[in-house]
Amino acid sequence: MQRLQQHSQGTPGIARTRDGRELHFMELAGPVGGDASATAVDAPVTEVDAPVTVVFEGGLASVRSYWALVQQAVAGSARAVVYDRSGLGRSAPDPSGQRRLARLADDLGDLLDRLGPGPYVLVGHSWGGPVIRLAAAARPGRIAGLVLVDPTDEACDLLFDNSIRRLEKVRYGAALLLARLGLLGLLFRKVTAALPPDAAADMRAEAFTVATMRTMGAEQAGIAADLRALRDDPPVLGDIPVTVISATLPTPGMNAQARASINAAHAHRAGQSPRGRHVLARHADHMVPTAEPGIIVAEVERLLEAAGQRDQWEQNGQVTP
C-alpha cells in the first residue's frame, strides 16, 4: 500500500478555545521527530521532543499557508506550528463576531495550552505582532522569545491618523469586491509562487474568499481602539527577548516617510526590551515571510540557541545574563 506524502506544513490538528471554537493548526515535529498521532483532535500533548516550540501568528487575513517557507526551515531546529485564527483558512468564523485584539491573544493562548507547557518562541507578522505581545504578557514564564516581523506598533503616531482609517476602509471595500469577482488572488501571485505547491494551493483556495475578507474587516474594525489601548497600557514583557524585523523595500500604499516612521517605532519597541534587537530586512517589502524568509529563520534560531543556553545555565545553578 502506497504511503501518502506528508503535507509540507506537517500534521493537522484541532485546538479548542475556552468557549468551544475550533482552531485548525498544522505541526512539523522538529529534528527529533515525534508521534504524529499526538495531534489528533483534543488528544493532550504531554511530550514534546523539541525543547522549544515555535508558533507563528499571521497578520490581517493571513492564513497558515503564508508561513510555509519559514516554518519548514525552522522545523530543522524545533517543533514548528502554524494555525488559522477563527474565520481564516480552515477555522470556522467566530459566532460572536468579536475580533478584537484581546480575543485574538486569548485564542493564541488557548492554542498554546493545547500544544503543551512550552517554552515557546512566538513569531508574529504585521497585526500578529501585537497579538503575540499580548499573549506573551499573559504567560511570560512560558515564553522564550518573540520575533516581531514588520509589526503594527502603537509607537508609530502615523497609525493614529484619521487618513489611515479611511485608507483601510477603501482597501477593505476593494478587497471584498475583488474576492466576490474571484480576482483577489491575482494581486498575490508573487506570494503564492514562492510557496511549496501544496501550501500555495491551500492559500489560493482559502485566503482570497469573501469569508476571509469579512473576517479581515471584523479584525480591522477594532484596530484604532486596540492601538490606543496598547499605547495607554502596553503589555509587560519583562526580560523576554524581543527581536523586531523591519522591512526596507517599497510597499504599495506606503511612502518613504511612512516607512521611516514605522521603522523608528520598531527601533523603539526593540529598545523597550533589555534583550531587544532591531534587524533590517534589506531585501523585503512588508511581505517579509515570503520575500526574505531567511532573516526570520535566522532570528528564530538565535532565540532557540539562547533558550538552550539559558536552560543549561539554570541546570548548572548559574545566574543567567
Q: State the Cα–Cα distance between residues 51 and 81, nearest whole angstrom.
A: 14
pLDDT tens string for the chain (321 positions)?
A: 455 679 999 999 999 999 999 999 999 999 865 433 344 334 434 344 448 999 999 999 999 999 999 999 999 999 999 999 999 999 999 999 999 999 999 999 999 999 999 999 999 999 999 999 999 999 999 999 999 999 999 999 999 999 988 999 999 999 999 999 999 999 999 999 999 999 999 999 999 999 999 999 999 999 999 999 999 999 999 999 999 999 999 998 889 999 999 999 999 999 999 999 999 999 999 999 999 999 999 999 999 999 986 554 445 444 333
Q: State the Cα–Cα distance between residues 124 and 145, nearest whole angstrom.
A: 11
Q: Tell whether 178 is covered by a domain.
A: yes
Largest Cα–Cα separation, the chain: 62
Q: State the Cα–Cα distance between residues 91 and 304, nearest whole angstrom.
A: 29
**Cell numbers standing for residue 134:** 499580548
Q: Tell whether 206 is covered by a domain.
A: yes
Which candidate, 184, 171, 182, places its Cα nearest to that of 217? 171
DSSP-derived secondary structure for 234-260: ----TT--EEEEEE-S-BTTB-HHHHH
The model carries a pTM of: 0.91
pLDDT for 32: 66
Task: Find the domain containing 106 and state its range.
Answer: 11-315
Q: State the Cα–Cα distance between residues 259 and 146, nearest whole angstrom.
A: 22
Q: Tell whether 293 is covered by a domain.
A: yes
Q: How many domains does the chain have?
A: 1
pLDDT for 5: 74
* Radius of gyration of the chain, Cα coordinates, nearest whole angstrom: 19
pLDDT for 310: 57
Q: Tell whether 153 is covered by a domain.
A: yes
Helical segments of the chain, H only: 68-74, 101-115, 128-137, 162-181, 189-194, 197-206, 210-221, 223-232, 256-271, 288-291, 293-315
Q: Tell whether 321 is covered by a domain.
A: no
- Using CA atoms, how far residue 26 sits from 10, 15, 79, 111, 191, in Å, is 6, 10, 11, 12, 20
Please check whether residue 84 is in contact with residue 97, taking contact to mean a CB–CB distance below 8 angstroms: no
Bridge partners of 16, per DSSP, are 22
Q: State the Cα–Cα distance between residues 102 and 135, nearest whole angstrom.
A: 8
Q: Tell whether 81 is covered by a domain.
A: yes
Residue 114 belongs to domain with CATH number: 3.40.50.1820
Q: Tell whether 142 is covered by a domain.
A: yes
Please check whether residue 258 is in contact with residue 251, taking contact to mean a CB–CB distance below 8 angstroms: no
Please check whether residue 94 is in contact with residue 25, taking contact to mean a CB–CB distance below 8 angstroms: no
Q: Tell whether 225 is covered by a domain.
A: yes
3-class secondary structure for 48-63? CCCCCEEEEECCCCCC
